[in-house]
Amino acid sequence: MLTLKSIHTAANIVFLVLLVTFLIFFTVSFPLGAYISLTFYNKDAPQTIRSLPLFVFGLAVPIRASIDALTLLTLLLAFYLLLVYLAARGPLANLYQTLKTVYTKGIASVQDNTLTTVGTVFAPLLLVNIGLEYFQNLFGVETGKLPRSEPLVDFTLLTYAPLVEEFGFRLTLIGVVSSCLTLYYCDVKTALYTVWRPSAFLDAKSRRINVLLNSLIIFSSLLFGLAHVIYGGGWELGKVLPAFVAGLCLGWLYVKWGFHAAVLLHLLFNYFSGTFDYFAELVGSTLLTDVVSITLYLLGVVVLVWLALRLNSLIKE
């Protein structure tokens, strides 16, 4: 007869295998994205980006540019790899140490590391958003989709969006306000660090601070959801709610784990998902994409079940 301890151990192993598999796919997406960009590149007619959007305090500010799409994509991937490295290092334990702890202590231990936290949030959030879009479609509320033009330009802008949108909806709307609050009590250096990771320097035990941060997260998420429709781009009304829910998770990650955590979660929705979709089109097979999707769905189900059980135990207490 299985004991409760053996069931917990088996659950930890299943979760760990799924999480590690996902992290491998995430790592693979970078060379895969480079391959896709080179395949799309046309040396006889370089794809030049003439305008780049910039978001500041939730407002869109178009910037004139003249940059080759492949060059911009290369710079972005190099920057994102740096963020992955930073996320894998901490804040409480590195990636290897955290994975070992997850095996012995359970899913809650993923919070010791930024990268494992981002992956653990992404999978269930993906399932929730798919469910929201499905039910909205049943009532005739369409989500819409991004229009397609030049593949390399589309792929580059898709990869660019996580950085600029997290700057405009999280760092400026939440971070700047948090930094000003810190500046009132501390020095300039501490205030600048607060912009990167608000929870590191704000007293989370303070009720007023918690109310402020939660209000900022909700406000920024609402603007984030509405911006997808207001600024066009192919999205319709059905995109507002999924984007709002995603914004809540992005804001929570930003406040507690830092700007790089929010950017990486956003990157998973844009670049990571887009990479395997484009790769499936190039090779004419969805096998790899299906394996990635199944891994994410299973990981999401495991996390959602764990959250439900944990919530149930807290209610009973």
- pLDDT tens digits for the chain (317 residues)? 456 566 667 778 899 999 999 999 999 999 999 999 999 988 777 788 988 999 999 888 888 988 999 999 999 999 999 999 999 998 999 999 999 999 888 898 999 999 999 999 999 999 999 999 999 999 999 998 888 888 999 999 999 999 999 999 999 999 998 888 777 777 777 778 889 999 877 766 677 888 889 999 999 999 999 999 988 778 999 999 999 999 999 999 999 999 999 999 999 999 999 999 999 999 999 999 999 999 999 999 999 998 988 887 777 76
Q: Taking the model in full, what pTM does it have?
A: 0.94
Q: What is the pLDDT of residue 205?
A: 61
Q: What is the pLDDT of residue 1?
A: 44
Q: What is the pLDDT of residue 269?
A: 96
CA distances for 136 relative to 39, 131, 145, 246, angstroms: 36, 9, 14, 16
